[in-house]
A and B are shown apart, each in its own frame.
Chain A
Amino acid sequence: MSEPILRVQALDAGYHGRVIQKGVSFEVAPGEILVLIGPNGAGKSTILRTVTGQLPPLGGRITLAGTPLGQYSPRQAARHMAVLMTERVRMEYAPCREIVGMGRYPYTGHLGLLSPEDRRAVSDAMALADVTDLADRDFSSLSDGQRQRVLLARAICQEPELLVLDEPTMHLDIRYQLSLLGVLRRLTRERNAAVLMTLHELELAQRIADRVLCIRPGCPDRCGTPEEVFESGYIAQLFGVEAHAFDALYSTLELPAAQGPPQVFVICGGGSGVPVFRQLQRRGIPFAAGVLHENDLDLPAARALAVQVVTEEGFVPISEERLRQAKDIMERCDAVICTVPSFGPMNEGCKSLLAHARSLGKLRDPETIAQKT
């Protein structure tokens, strides 16, 4: 691994002498994206502000490109590190090209006039951030997503080795979120820049990060690849939500389940059950689901939303015992819904559940269930 651009050692970060994050240590290497995640108010932004020199460190060391941060003049530091903040920027009479050009500040002379090389850097940065078509538009006429990309182009134009971003996807719709993260990826690949950022959206963090640092209130916790960090129980605990509410594989989140004895039994599988689970949850109807294989697409949502789930090991046909268990629950329910469109060798058993429901006279369409209750 190459020499890190940023090395933070035993840093204490906070405001007005009050420590909010204690003993923060991490490194960011060239070409790497490190994402800080954690609950609101834990101090992610405080760490970023300290790293970017907006807050004085209350202890520990920050080393940027081999030199302690405190030894840089603002201008020198700006040649190594650029930032993108969350706060909204208000500008009058400012075409985007001019704003991107502001990134040349650490390179221009006393009057800030742009040389031909500076202009080329502006064009390159705008191309990389995909805002070339906005060059002559006035900044105040842009949408939030466009503004954010223009400000990103400004930061890129500063030609930093380290780019620090605080919640860059806030205020953005999914299209701009994706394009923004795409630009960051290109930046790390094409220019070997390092990226340090905070993200609220766990699913984005999981997909973009090379490494994730989890920030608990008070001090950092786990640090590692998304594969190491994103473990259902752990993320749920980090954010203080119920264990099954968060699915670590897809970073999806389910609302709290309806409680009580199950009123409806859902015969499901292969992802067909999830929309029905969520509908029942919205209407506050407690339900049971089954029989699901341990590797079924429906299982995480069923675990989060159903009061009872009957499961079978993955890749084996459903056993008689499981079927009997399911039928027992079904008999105590008022209604049964079947979402499975077809049956194969592995879920053959569910076919008998469907027949049993019919014989009990409890089989309903999903729509009728919703109306009835």
Chain B
Amino acid sequence: MHRRRMGVIYTLLCVLLLALMLANLCIGSVNTAPGTLLAALRDPDANTVTYRILMQIRLPRMLCAAVLGGGLAVSGLLLQSFFQNPIAGPYILGISSGAKLAAALLMVAALTGGFALRSLWLVGAAFVGAMLSMGLVLLVASKVHRMSVLIVCGVMIGYICSSVTDFVVNFSDDANIVNLHNWSMGSFSGSDPRDARIACAIVLPAVTGAFLLAKPMDAYRLGEQYARSSGVAVRPFRVALILLSSLLSAAVTAFAGPISFVGVAVPHLVKTLLHTAKPIRILPACFLGGAVFCLFCDLVTRTLFAPTELSISSVTALFGAPVVIAMLLRREGGHSDV
């Protein structure tokens, strides 16, 4: 019965993913029928405009939304495993904001210094920022053992990083501010083919690495002591969790800015649908689910008030936050201590 449920849910996720990928390619300021897309792919020279829209704009953006969304959900799952709490996530704990601050500093430096910025540098800066706020969160976690306190501290760290980012953005050269502002609110717009390639090159190996941690993650569900006693090398495992989750949320932030709630809502939805929390079973589904969720939300940002674009974070919050609230209510309804 469990096997069947897994089969159904995974099939459903794959179908949804493919459908949304197609929809994201077809729908836009100019709607394109799938047939036209195929024709353009077959004969680029006869359909130059469609081909360029597809290859330069929609395909990279679609790929970024899918891969980064999936990476974000996996990053959330890794943090939840680390803190043994389903409410942990890169956005809530302020890790995304740290990445955002570091990336914004680099962007402003590039704008004022007038040097060209490479996406890889941005990812590097975001990774450093993510690790710094992660360090801060870990410092707090070593002092307090109540998860609620830790989360409030994470939210505060997030606010501090965001306000510093705002200062920086305000003081920077105003010519490029619109662009920067868009990014700091979170958006997949402006993803070019290079971005998409780099995002794939970072996220896919990192997610594969996370999948290889599924076994110790499973043992770690019983807590650190049981994990150690059943043979987990706890310290390297924890370091790997931190590095991978920071890398994933840094990549997302570097390319799309901070995106809220995906890291918490998607793993929760996946667990609820699959009726299991075994990492080896849910991790791939989290990746697929994150991709589906972000593709859907990105579609909404582009189409709801077209031609105006919403920030991706507003849309993910709209759909993600209620899930988180529902989860909290369910936990409180049961016998729990967050």
- Report the bound CA distance from A94 to B2 in whole Å: 12
Residues of A near B218 (CB, < 8 A) are 102, 112
Please provide the chain B residues from 226 to 267 with a CB less than 8 Å away from any CB of chain A in the complex. Answer: 226, 228-234
- Report the bound CA distance from A110 to B213 in whole Å: 9
- Are A102 and B231 also in contact (CB < 8 A) when A94-B277, A110-B212 are? no
Q: Are A110 and B232 within 8 A (Cβ)?
A: no
Closest to A79 in B: B231
A128 within 8 A of B: no
- Report the bound CA distance from A99 to B223 in whole Å: 12
- B210 CB, min distance to chain A CBs, angstroms: 13
A26 within 8 A of B: no
- Are A81 and B229 also in contact (CB < 8 A) when A90-B336, A94-B221, A140-B334 are? yes
- B147 CB, min distance to chain A CBs, angstroms: 11
Please provide the chain B residues from 42 to 72 with a CB less than 8 Å away from any CB of chain A in the complex. Answer: none
Which of A74, A76, A79 sits near B232, CB closer than 8 Å? Answer: A74
Residues of B near A79 (CB, < 8 A) are 231
Closest to B229 in A: A83
Closest to A113 in B: B280
- Report the bound CA distance from A140 to B221 in whole Å: 13
Q: Are B271 and A111 within 8 A (Cβ)?
A: no
B320 within 8 A of A: no
Interface centre among B86, B218, B277, B280 (most CB of A within 10 A): B218
Q: Are B215 and A91 within 8 A (Cβ)?
A: no
Report how many residues on chain B are interfacial, defined by Cβ distance under 8 Å.
Answer: 29
Residues of B near A151 (CB, < 8 A) are 226
Which of B231, B275, B277 sits near A78, CB closer than 8 Å? Answer: B231
Residues of A near B226 (CB, < 8 A) are 83, 85, 89, 102, 151, 154
- Are A102 and B219 also in contact (CB < 8 A) when A74-B233, A90-B336 are? yes
Contact with B along A38-67 (1 / 0, CB 8 A): 000000000000001110000000000000
Interface centre among A79, A87, A93 (most CB of B within 10 A): A93
Please provide the chain B residues from 189 to 226 with a CB less than 8 Å away from any CB of chain A in the complex. Answer: 212, 214-215, 218-219, 221-223, 225-226
Residues of A near B223 (CB, < 8 A) are 85, 87, 89
Which of B84, B225, B335 sits near A85, CB closer than 8 Å? Answer: B225
- B150 CB, min distance to chain A CBs, angstroms: 16
Residues of A near B277 (CB, < 8 A) are 91-94
Residues of A near B228 (CB, < 8 A) are 53-54, 74
Q: Are B280 and A112 within 8 A (Cβ)?
A: yes
Please provide the chain A residues from 319 to 362 with a CB less than 8 Å away from any CB of chain B in the complex. Answer: none
Residues of B near A158 (CB, < 8 A) are 230
Please provide the chain A residues from 67 to 102 with a CB less than 8 Å away from any CB of chain B in the complex. Answer: 73-79, 81-83, 85, 87, 89-94, 98-99, 102
Closest to B277 in A: A93
Residues of B near A89 (CB, < 8 A) are 222-223, 226
Q: Are A98 and B231 within 8 A (Cβ)?
A: no
- Are A111 and B280 also in contact (CB < 8 A) when A89-B222, A92-B271, A105-B219 are? yes
- Report the bound CA distance from A92 to B80 in whole Å: 12
Residues of B near A90 (CB, < 8 A) are 84, 336-337
Closest to B217 in A: A112
Which of B225, B231, B275, B278 sits near A106, CB closer than 8 Å? Answer: B231
- A32 CB, min distance to chain B CBs, angstroms: 20
Closest to B234 in A: A74
Please provide the chain B residues from 271 to 290 with a CB less than 8 Å away from any CB of chain A in the complex. Answer: 271, 275-278, 280
A103 within 8 A of B: yes
A279 within 8 A of B: no
Closest to B275 in A: A93
Q: Are A103 and B230 within 8 A (Cβ)?
A: yes
Which of A52, A73, A87, A108 sits near B229, CB closer than 8 Å? Answer: A52
Q: Are B229 and A78 within 8 A (Cβ)?
A: yes
Closest to B282 in A: A93
Residues of B near A77 (CB, < 8 A) are 231
- A290 CB, min distance to chain B CBs, angstroms: 53
- B87 CB, min distance to chain A CBs, angstroms: 12
- A9 CB, min distance to chain B CBs, angstroms: 22
Interface centre among B226, B234, B271, B337 (most CB of A within 10 A): B226
Q: Are B221 and A91 within 8 A (Cβ)?
A: yes
Which B residues fall within an 8 A CB radius of A?
Answer: 84, 86, 212, 214-215, 218-219, 221-223, 225-226, 228-234, 271, 275-278, 280, 334-337
Nearest 7 A-B pairs (CB), nearest first? A78-B231, A112-B215, A75-B231, A106-B231, A105-B230, A93-B277, A83-B229
Question: What are 19 of the A-B contact pairs (CB < 8 Å)?
Answer: A52-B229, A53-B228, A53-B229, A74-B228, A75-B231, A78-B229, A89-B222, A89-B223, A92-B86, A93-B276, A94-B277, A98-B276, A102-B230, A105-B219, A105-B230, A105-B231, A108-B215, A110-B212, A113-B280
A54-B225, A103-B230, A110-B215 known, 7 other contacts, Cβ within 8 Å: A85-B226, A87-B225, A102-B218, A105-B215, A113-B280, A151-B226, A154-B226
